[in-house]
Protein backbone atom coordinates (compact mmCIF):
# COMPACT_ATOMS: atom_id res chain seq x y z
CA UNK A 1 0.00 0.00 0.00
CA UNK A 2 1.35 3.49 -0.78
CA UNK A 3 2.33 5.68 2.15
CA UNK A 4 -0.41 8.13 3.08
CA UNK A 5 0.22 11.26 5.07
CA UNK A 6 -2.14 11.38 8.05
CA UNK A 7 -4.95 13.92 7.93
CA UNK A 8 -5.17 15.87 11.19
CA UNK A 9 -8.13 17.51 12.85
CA UNK A 10 -7.05 21.15 12.68
CA UNK A 11 -3.33 21.56 11.95
CA UNK A 12 -1.58 24.94 11.74
CA UNK A 13 -2.11 26.67 8.38
CA UNK A 14 1.13 28.60 7.84
CA UNK A 15 3.13 29.49 4.75
CA UNK A 16 5.17 32.22 3.07
CA UNK A 17 3.29 35.13 4.71
CA UNK A 18 4.07 33.86 8.23
CA UNK A 19 7.66 33.03 7.26
CA UNK A 20 8.21 36.57 5.96
CA UNK A 21 6.63 38.10 9.06
CA UNK A 22 8.78 36.10 11.49
CA UNK A 23 11.90 36.97 9.53
CA UNK A 24 10.93 40.66 9.54
CA UNK A 25 10.54 40.60 13.33
CA UNK A 26 13.83 38.76 13.87
CA UNK A 27 15.75 41.14 11.61
CA UNK A 28 14.23 44.17 13.35
CA UNK A 29 16.15 43.28 16.52
CA UNK A 30 12.96 42.95 18.57
CA UNK A 31 13.35 39.32 19.67
CA UNK A 32 11.61 40.41 22.86
CA UNK A 33 8.35 39.86 24.77
CA UNK A 34 7.24 43.40 23.77
CA UNK A 35 7.76 45.62 20.73
CA UNK A 36 6.14 47.08 17.63
CA UNK A 37 4.68 43.79 16.36
CA UNK A 38 2.97 43.17 19.71
CA UNK A 39 1.52 46.69 19.72
CA UNK A 40 0.26 46.36 16.15
CA UNK A 41 -1.16 42.86 16.76
CA UNK A 42 -3.12 44.12 19.77
CA UNK A 43 -4.54 47.03 17.75
CA UNK A 44 -5.45 44.86 14.78
CA UNK A 45 -7.21 42.22 16.90
CA UNK A 46 -9.07 44.88 18.91
CA UNK A 47 -10.27 46.49 15.69
CA UNK A 48 -11.27 43.15 14.20
CA UNK A 49 -13.32 42.12 17.26
CA UNK A 50 -14.70 45.60 17.88
CA UNK A 51 -13.32 46.29 21.35
CA UNK A 52 -11.15 49.26 22.31
CA UNK A 53 -8.51 47.42 24.36
CA UNK A 54 -6.48 44.24 23.90
CA UNK A 55 -3.55 42.60 25.66
CA UNK A 56 -1.39 40.02 23.87
CA UNK A 57 -0.35 37.08 26.06
CA UNK A 58 1.55 33.81 25.68
CA UNK A 59 -1.59 31.64 25.91
CA UNK A 60 -5.34 31.76 26.01
CA UNK A 61 -5.14 30.15 29.44
CA UNK A 62 -3.06 33.10 30.71
CA UNK A 63 -5.72 35.44 29.30
CA UNK A 64 -8.45 33.54 31.16
CA UNK A 65 -6.44 33.70 34.38
CA UNK A 66 -5.80 37.45 34.14
CA UNK A 67 -9.39 38.09 33.04
CA UNK A 68 -10.69 36.37 36.16
CA UNK A 69 -8.24 38.23 38.43
CA UNK A 70 -9.16 41.56 36.84
CA UNK A 71 -12.83 40.83 37.55
CA UNK A 72 -11.97 40.33 41.21
CA UNK A 73 -12.39 36.55 41.28
CA UNK A 74 -10.63 34.82 44.16
CA UNK A 75 -10.83 32.34 47.04
CA UNK A 76 -14.25 31.69 48.58
CA UNK A 77 -16.08 32.42 45.33
CA UNK A 78 -17.84 30.20 42.83
CA UNK A 79 -17.37 30.64 39.10
CA UNK A 80 -19.99 29.19 36.77
CA UNK A 81 -18.39 27.22 33.94
CA UNK A 82 -19.98 25.12 31.20
CA UNK A 83 -19.24 21.44 31.67
CA UNK A 84 -18.62 21.20 27.91
CA UNK A 85 -15.35 23.04 27.42
CA UNK A 86 -11.60 22.52 27.23
CA UNK A 87 -10.04 22.14 30.67
CA UNK A 88 -8.25 25.52 30.40
CA UNK A 89 -11.47 27.38 31.27
CA UNK A 90 -11.85 25.50 34.55
CA UNK A 91 -8.13 25.43 35.34
CA UNK A 92 -7.99 29.22 35.19
CA UNK A 93 -10.66 29.30 37.91
CA UNK A 94 -8.55 26.98 40.08
CA UNK A 95 -5.49 29.26 39.63
CA UNK A 96 -7.42 32.09 41.32
CA UNK A 97 -8.40 29.95 44.30
CA UNK A 98 -12.08 30.09 43.34
CA UNK A 99 -14.22 26.99 42.74
CA UNK A 100 -15.86 26.07 39.43
CA UNK A 101 -19.46 24.86 39.42
CA UNK A 102 -20.36 23.21 36.14
CA UNK A 103 -23.53 23.73 34.10
CA UNK A 104 -24.86 21.45 31.37
CA UNK A 105 -25.27 22.40 27.71
CA UNK A 106 -27.88 23.07 25.08
CA UNK A 107 -27.93 19.85 23.01
CA UNK A 108 -28.26 21.72 19.69
CA UNK A 109 -25.07 23.77 20.15
CA UNK A 110 -22.98 22.34 22.98
CA UNK A 111 -23.02 25.84 24.51
CA UNK A 112 -24.09 26.49 28.09
CA UNK A 113 -27.83 26.01 28.70
CA UNK A 114 -28.73 29.59 29.61
CA UNK A 115 -32.07 28.68 31.21
CA UNK A 116 -30.35 26.15 33.45
CA UNK A 117 -27.63 28.70 34.26
CA UNK A 118 -30.35 31.04 35.54
CA UNK A 119 -31.70 28.33 37.82
CA UNK A 120 -28.23 27.56 39.18
CA UNK A 121 -27.56 31.24 39.92
CA UNK A 122 -30.89 31.57 41.74
CA UNK A 123 -30.29 28.39 43.76
CA UNK A 124 -26.75 29.34 44.75
CA UNK A 125 -27.89 32.80 45.80
CA UNK A 126 -30.73 31.35 47.84
CA UNK A 127 -28.20 29.13 49.61
CA UNK A 128 -26.10 32.19 50.43
CA UNK A 129 -23.17 31.18 48.22
CA UNK A 130 -20.86 33.81 46.68
CA UNK A 131 -20.66 33.83 42.89
CA UNK A 132 -17.57 35.56 41.50
CA UNK A 133 -18.26 35.43 37.76
CA UNK A 134 -19.79 33.57 34.83
CA UNK A 135 -17.68 32.12 32.01
CA UNK A 136 -19.63 31.48 28.80
CA UNK A 137 -17.62 29.54 26.21
CA UNK A 138 -18.28 30.00 22.48
CA UNK A 139 -18.02 26.31 21.74
CA UNK A 140 -16.57 25.09 18.44
CA UNK A 141 -16.88 28.65 17.14
CA UNK A 142 -20.60 29.17 17.81
CA UNK A 143 -21.56 32.01 20.10
CA UNK A 144 -23.54 31.44 23.26
CA UNK A 145 -27.12 32.78 23.21
CA UNK A 146 -25.99 36.19 24.51
CA UNK A 147 -29.26 38.13 24.62
CA UNK A 148 -30.70 36.07 27.52
CA UNK A 149 -27.28 35.49 29.07
CA UNK A 150 -26.45 39.21 29.21
CA UNK A 151 -29.92 39.97 30.66
CA UNK A 152 -29.42 37.29 33.27
CA UNK A 153 -25.97 38.50 34.32
CA UNK A 154 -27.02 42.16 34.35
CA UNK A 155 -29.94 41.34 36.61
CA UNK A 156 -27.81 39.16 38.89
CA UNK A 157 -24.97 41.75 38.80
CA UNK A 158 -22.45 39.13 37.75
CA UNK A 159 -19.32 39.78 35.74
CA UNK A 160 -18.63 37.82 32.58
CA UNK A 161 -15.35 36.39 31.32
CA UNK A 162 -16.12 35.24 27.78
CA UNK A 163 -13.98 32.33 26.61
CA UNK A 164 -13.84 32.91 22.84
CA UNK A 165 -10.69 30.83 22.40
CA UNK A 166 -12.38 28.95 19.55
CA UNK A 167 -14.47 31.79 18.17
CA UNK A 168 -12.27 34.44 16.51
CA UNK A 169 -14.34 35.86 13.64
CA UNK A 170 -17.66 34.45 14.86
CA UNK A 171 -20.64 36.74 15.37
CA UNK A 172 -23.93 36.83 17.28
CA UNK A 173 -26.57 39.25 15.94
CA UNK A 174 -23.82 41.21 14.20
CA UNK A 175 -21.49 41.50 17.20
CA UNK A 176 -18.14 39.66 17.34
CA UNK A 177 -17.27 36.87 19.73
CA UNK A 178 -14.94 38.16 22.41
CA UNK A 179 -16.79 41.46 22.78
CA UNK A 180 -19.66 40.35 25.04
CA UNK A 181 -18.03 39.98 28.44
CA UNK A 182 -16.38 42.32 30.92
CA UNK A 183 -13.35 40.47 29.57
CA UNK A 184 -13.02 38.34 26.43
CA UNK A 185 -10.39 35.74 25.64
CA UNK A 186 -8.89 34.49 22.38
CA UNK A 187 -6.41 31.65 21.86
CA UNK A 188 -3.75 31.39 19.17
CA UNK A 189 -2.82 27.81 20.00
CA UNK A 190 -1.66 25.57 17.14
CA UNK A 191 -5.15 24.23 16.33
CA UNK A 192 -7.22 27.43 16.56
CA UNK A 193 -8.56 29.75 13.81
CA UNK A 194 -5.22 31.57 13.69
CA UNK A 195 -2.05 30.53 15.45
CA UNK A 196 1.13 32.02 16.84
CA UNK A 197 2.14 28.42 17.70
CA UNK A 198 1.04 29.42 21.19
CA UNK A 199 -0.52 32.66 22.35
CA UNK A 200 -3.66 34.43 23.43
CA UNK A 201 -5.34 37.79 23.83
CA UNK A 202 -7.38 39.44 26.57
CA UNK A 203 -10.04 41.86 25.28
CA UNK A 204 -12.13 44.44 27.07
CA UNK A 205 -14.16 47.63 26.81
CA UNK A 206 -12.56 48.69 30.10
CA UNK A 207 -9.17 50.45 29.86
CA UNK A 208 -8.55 50.00 33.58
CA UNK A 209 -9.11 46.25 33.41
CA UNK A 210 -6.60 45.83 30.59
CA UNK A 211 -4.06 48.12 32.28
CA UNK A 212 -4.22 46.03 35.45
CA UNK A 213 -3.89 42.79 33.50
CA UNK A 214 -0.94 44.23 31.56
CA UNK A 215 0.78 45.06 34.83
CA UNK A 216 0.29 41.54 36.18
CA UNK A 217 1.43 39.93 32.91
CA UNK A 218 4.81 41.64 33.35
CA UNK A 219 5.62 40.46 36.90
CA UNK A 220 3.66 43.41 38.34
CA UNK A 221 6.66 45.60 37.70
CA UNK A 222 6.30 49.27 38.51
CA UNK A 223 8.09 51.61 36.07
CA UNK A 224 11.25 52.36 38.02
CA UNK A 225 14.89 51.92 37.17
CA UNK A 226 15.37 49.34 39.85
CA UNK A 227 12.95 46.40 39.67
CA UNK A 228 9.99 47.13 41.91
CA UNK A 229 6.86 44.98 42.25
CA UNK A 230 3.66 45.74 44.12
CA UNK A 231 1.69 42.46 43.89
CA UNK A 232 1.90 38.90 42.59
CA UNK A 233 2.82 39.02 38.93
CA UNK A 234 3.21 36.54 36.09
CA UNK A 235 5.42 36.09 33.06
CA UNK A 236 2.60 35.99 30.53
CA UNK A 237 3.70 38.30 27.70
CA UNK A 238 3.68 37.31 24.03
CA UNK A 239 6.90 37.26 22.01
CA UNK A 240 7.24 40.07 19.46
CA UNK A 241 8.37 37.45 16.91
CA UNK A 242 5.19 35.44 17.42
CA UNK A 243 3.04 38.58 17.30
CA UNK A 244 4.42 39.14 13.79
CA UNK A 245 3.29 35.63 12.88
CA UNK A 246 -0.12 36.39 14.38
CA UNK A 247 -0.49 39.50 12.22
CA UNK A 248 0.22 37.48 9.08
CA UNK A 249 -2.34 34.91 10.19
CA UNK A 250 -4.92 37.59 10.97
CA UNK A 251 -4.50 39.06 7.48
CA UNK A 252 -5.50 35.61 6.15
CA UNK A 253 -8.38 35.02 8.60
CA UNK A 254 -11.20 35.62 6.11
CA UNK A 255 -9.67 33.32 3.52
CA UNK A 256 -8.98 30.59 6.11
CA UNK A 257 -12.49 30.91 7.59
CA UNK A 258 -14.00 30.55 4.12
CA UNK A 259 -12.12 27.26 3.70
CA UNK A 260 -13.46 25.93 7.02
CA UNK A 261 -16.94 27.04 6.02
CA UNK A 262 -16.70 25.20 2.68
CA UNK A 263 -15.66 22.06 4.59
CA UNK A 264 -18.63 22.44 6.93
CA UNK A 265 -20.99 22.75 3.95
CA UNK A 266 -19.35 19.72 2.38
CA UNK A 267 -19.91 17.62 5.52
CA UNK A 268 -23.51 18.86 5.78
CA UNK A 269 -24.19 17.61 2.25
CA UNK A 270 -22.33 14.36 2.87
CA UNK A 271 -24.55 13.49 5.84
CA UNK A 272 -27.74 15.23 4.67
CA UNK A 273 -29.45 12.02 3.60
CA UNK A 274 -28.35 10.03 6.67
CA UNK A 275 -31.18 9.75 9.16
CA UNK A 276 -29.83 10.24 12.69
CA UNK A 277 -26.77 12.39 11.89
CA UNK A 278 -26.92 16.10 12.74
CA UNK A 279 -24.24 18.76 12.41
CA UNK A 280 -23.84 20.66 15.69
CA UNK A 281 -24.94 24.34 15.46
CA UNK A 282 -25.88 23.79 11.84
CA UNK A 283 -28.36 26.67 11.80
CA UNK A 284 -25.95 29.23 13.31
CA UNK A 285 -25.29 31.88 10.63
CA UNK A 286 -22.49 33.49 12.68
CA UNK A 287 -20.23 30.52 13.30
CA UNK A 288 -16.60 30.57 12.13
CA UNK A 289 -16.88 26.78 11.54
CA UNK A 290 -13.77 26.16 13.67
CA UNK A 291 -14.47 22.45 14.08
CA UNK A 292 -17.33 20.51 12.53
CA UNK A 293 -18.96 18.12 14.99
CA UNK A 294 -21.55 15.58 13.92
CA UNK A 295 -23.94 14.04 16.43
CA UNK A 296 -24.91 10.44 15.75
CA UNK A 297 -28.10 8.91 17.14
CA UNK A 298 -27.32 5.17 17.00
CA UNK A 299 -31.01 4.25 17.35
CA UNK A 300 -31.61 5.83 13.95
CA UNK A 301 -28.30 5.11 12.21
CA UNK A 302 -27.60 1.60 13.51
CA UNK A 303 -23.98 2.65 14.08
CA UNK A 304 -22.09 4.69 16.65
CA UNK A 305 -19.88 7.76 16.29
CA UNK A 306 -17.04 5.56 17.56
CA UNK A 307 -17.56 3.12 14.65
CA UNK A 308 -17.00 5.89 12.11
CA UNK A 309 -14.03 7.14 14.16
CA UNK A 310 -12.44 3.67 14.01
CA UNK A 311 -13.05 3.40 10.28
CA UNK A 312 -11.40 6.78 9.63
CA UNK A 313 -8.51 6.01 11.96
CA UNK A 314 -7.64 2.98 9.83
CA UNK A 315 -7.39 5.38 6.90
CA UNK A 316 -5.06 7.70 8.88
CA UNK A 317 -7.78 10.32 9.27
CA UNK A 318 -7.91 11.90 12.71
CA UNK A 319 -11.23 12.50 14.45
CA UNK A 320 -12.05 13.15 18.10
CA UNK A 321 -15.07 12.96 20.37
CA UNK A 322 -16.55 16.31 21.40
CA UNK A 323 -14.90 17.70 24.58
CA UNK A 324 -15.11 15.27 27.48
CA UNK A 325 -17.30 17.13 30.00
CA UNK A 326 -15.54 18.60 33.03
CA UNK A 327 -17.83 16.72 35.45
CA UNK A 328 -16.40 13.47 33.97
CA UNK A 329 -12.76 14.51 34.49
CA UNK A 330 -10.81 12.92 37.36
CA UNK A 331 -9.62 16.45 38.26
CA UNK A 332 -13.22 17.46 38.98
CA UNK A 333 -14.51 14.19 40.45
CA UNK A 334 -15.76 16.10 43.52
CA UNK A 335 -16.93 19.28 41.83
CA UNK A 336 -20.53 20.45 41.88
CA UNK A 337 -22.40 20.24 38.59
CA UNK A 338 -25.97 20.90 37.41
CA UNK A 339 -26.68 18.31 34.75
CA UNK A 340 -29.43 17.40 32.31
CA UNK A 341 -27.60 14.61 30.49
CA UNK A 342 -27.03 16.72 27.35
CA UNK A 343 -23.25 16.97 27.78
CA UNK A 344 -22.92 13.23 28.44
CA UNK A 345 -24.96 12.53 25.31
CA UNK A 346 -22.85 14.92 23.23
CA UNK A 347 -19.69 13.22 24.48
CA UNK A 348 -21.06 9.75 23.63
CA UNK A 349 -22.57 10.66 20.26
CA UNK A 350 -20.44 13.54 18.97
CA UNK A 351 -17.58 13.22 16.53
CA UNK A 352 -15.26 16.05 15.49
CA UNK A 353 -14.21 15.78 11.85
CA UNK A 354 -11.07 17.16 10.16
CA UNK A 355 -11.81 20.87 9.82
CA UNK A 356 -8.47 22.59 9.19
CA UNK A 357 -8.18 25.42 6.70
CA UNK A 358 -5.06 23.83 5.17
CA UNK A 359 -6.84 20.67 3.97
CA UNK A 360 -6.40 20.38 0.20
CA UNK A 361 -8.78 18.96 -2.40
CA UNK A 362 -7.05 15.56 -2.43
CA UNK A 363 -7.34 15.22 1.33
CA UNK A 364 -11.01 16.26 1.22
CA UNK A 365 -11.62 13.68 -1.50
CA UNK A 366 -9.93 11.03 0.65
CA UNK A 367 -12.13 11.85 3.65
CA UNK A 368 -15.24 11.88 1.43
CA UNK A 369 -14.43 8.49 -0.08
CA UNK A 370 -13.84 6.94 3.36
CA UNK A 371 -17.06 8.38 4.82
CA UNK A 372 -19.05 7.25 1.79
CA UNK A 373 -17.47 3.78 2.01
CA UNK A 374 -18.43 3.58 5.68
CA UNK A 375 -22.00 4.77 5.06
CA UNK A 376 -22.35 2.25 2.22
CA UNK A 377 -21.21 -0.62 4.47
CA UNK A 378 -23.72 0.43 7.13
CA UNK A 379 -26.74 1.22 4.98
C1 LIG B 1 -7.84 26.37 23.24
C2 LIG B 1 -8.77 26.73 24.32
C3 LIG B 1 -8.33 27.42 25.46
C4 LIG B 1 -6.91 27.65 25.85
O5 LIG B 1 -6.09 28.24 25.00
P6 LIG B 1 -4.50 28.06 25.08
O7 LIG B 1 -4.07 29.15 24.17
O8 LIG B 1 -4.19 26.69 24.56
O9 LIG B 1 -4.05 28.25 26.48
C10 LIG B 1 -9.29 27.83 26.39
N11 LIG B 1 -10.58 27.54 26.23
C12 LIG B 1 -11.04 26.85 25.17
C13 LIG B 1 -12.49 26.59 25.06
C14 LIG B 1 -10.14 26.41 24.19
O15 LIG B 1 -10.60 25.71 23.15
Q: Measured in angstroms, how far is the CA atom of residue 67 from the centroid of ligand 1?
A: 14
Q: What is the pLDDT of residue 55?
A: 98
Q: What is the pLDDT of residue 369?
A: 97
Confidence of residue 293 (pLDDT cuts 50, 70, 90): very high
Looking at 251, 271, 294, the residue that finishes a domain is 251
Answer yes or no: are the C-beta atoms of 305 and 322 closer than 8 Å: no
Whether 324 sits among the annotated catalytic residues: the reply is no
Q: Are residues 101 and 165 in the same domain?
A: yes
Q: How far apart are the first and last CA of the chain?
A: 27
High-pLDDT (> 70) share of the chain, %: 99
Residue whose Cα lies nearest atom 10 of ligand 1: it is: 88
Domain-embedded: residue 186? yes
Q: What is the pLDDT of residue 26?
A: 97
Confidence of residue 227 (pLDDT cuts 50, 70, 90): confident
Q: Are residues 238 and 339 in the same domain?
A: no
Q: Are residues 129 and 183 in the same domain?
A: yes
Within the chain, how many helices (H) and strands (E) appear?
A: 13, 15
Q: Are residues 219 and 268 in the same domain?
A: no
Confidence of residue 224 (pLDDT cuts 50, 70, 90): confident
Q: What is the pLDDT of residue 379?
A: 83
CA atoms of 345 and 81, how far apart (whole Å): 18
CATH of the domain at 229: 3.40.640.10
- Out of 65, 82, 88, mutate this one to test ligand 1's pocket (max ligand atoms within 8 Å of CB): namely 88
Torsion-angle region of residue 274: left (phi > 0), alpha (psi -120 to 50) or beta? beta
Average pLDDT, the chain: 97
Q: Are residues 145 and 204 in the same domain?
A: yes
Domain-embedded: residue 8? no
- The per-residue pLDDT for range 323-367, each reduced to its tens digit, is 999 999 999 999 999 999 999 999 999 999 999 999 999 999 999
Question: What would the mean pLDDT of 183-193 be, rounded to a whole number?
Answer: 98
Q: What is the pLDDT of residue 264?
A: 97
Q: Are residues 212 and 89 in the same domain?
A: yes
Whether pLDDT at 161 is above 70: yes
Residue whose Cα lies nearest atom 8 of ligand 1: it is: 189
Q: Are residues 49 and 198 in the same domain?
A: yes
CB of 10 sitting under 6 A from ligand 1: no
DSSP 282: T
Confidence of residue 297 (pLDDT cuts 50, 70, 90): very high
Whether pLDDT at 2 is above 90: no
Domain-embedded: residue 4? no
Whole domain around residue 361: which residue ranges?
Answer: 253-377
Ligand 1 atom closest to the CA of 138, numbered from 1: 13
Residue 248's closest CA among 14, 15, 31, 18?
Answer: 18
Q: What is the pLDDT of residue 4?
A: 80
Q: What is the pLDDT of residue 133?
A: 98
Whether pLDDT at 105 is above 60: yes
Domain-embedded: residue 11? no
Q: How far is CA 249 from CA 45, 193, 295, 357, in A?
A: 11, 9, 31, 12
Ligand 1 atom closest to the CA of 85, numbered from 1: 13
CATH of the domain at 328: 3.90.1150.10
CB of 189 sitting under 6 A from ligand 1: yes
Question: What would the mean pLDDT of 159-172 be, rounded to a whole number?
Answer: 98
Q: What is the pLDDT of residue 3?
A: 63
Helix axes 207-217, 60-70, angle to 10 degrees: 120
Answer yes or no: are the C-beta atoms of 349 and 295 closer than 8 Å: yes
CA atoms of 87 and 90, how far apart (whole Å): 5
Q: Please state the domain count of the chain.
A: 2
Q: What is the pLDDT of residue 140?
A: 97
Ligand 1 atom closest to the CA of 189, numbered from 1: 7
Q: Which of 65-69, 229-233, 275-279, 352-356 has the lowest mean pLDDT?
A: 229-233
CB of 137 sitting under 6 A from ligand 1: yes
How many other CB atoms sit within 10 Å of the CB of residue 274?
17
- The per-residue pLDDT for range 58-94, each reduced to its tens digit, is 999 999 999 999 999 999 999 999 999 999 999 999 9
Q: What is the pLDDT of residue 223?
A: 83
Q: Are residues 21 and 115 in the same domain?
A: yes
Looking at 211, 235, 251, the residue that finishes a domain is 251
Whether pLDDT at 186 is above 80: yes
CB of 136 sitting under 6 A from ligand 1: no
Q: What are phi and psi of 173, to 5 degrees?
A: 45, 45
Domain-embedded: residue 5? no
- The per-residue pLDDT for range 127-144, each reduced to its tens digit, is 999 999 999 999 999 999
High-pLDDT (> 90) share of the chain, %: 96
Question: What would the mean pLDDT of 255-259 be, rounded to a whole number?
Answer: 98
Domain-embedded: residue 7? no
Q: Are residues 309 and 229 in the same domain?
A: no
Residue 112's closest CA among 349, 339, 348, 322?
Answer: 339
Whether pLDDT at 1 is above 70: no
Amino acid sequence: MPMRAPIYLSPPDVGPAEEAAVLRALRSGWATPFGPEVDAFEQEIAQRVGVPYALALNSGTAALHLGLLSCGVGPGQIVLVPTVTFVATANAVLYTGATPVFVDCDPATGNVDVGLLGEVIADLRRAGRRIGAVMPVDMFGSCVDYDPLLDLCREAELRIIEDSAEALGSTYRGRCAGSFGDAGVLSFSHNKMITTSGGGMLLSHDAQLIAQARHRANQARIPAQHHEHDEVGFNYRLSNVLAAMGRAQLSRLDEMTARRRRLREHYSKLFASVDGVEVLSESDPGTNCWLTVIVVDPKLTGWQAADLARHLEQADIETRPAWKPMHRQPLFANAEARLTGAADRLFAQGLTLPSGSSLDEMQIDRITAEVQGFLHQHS
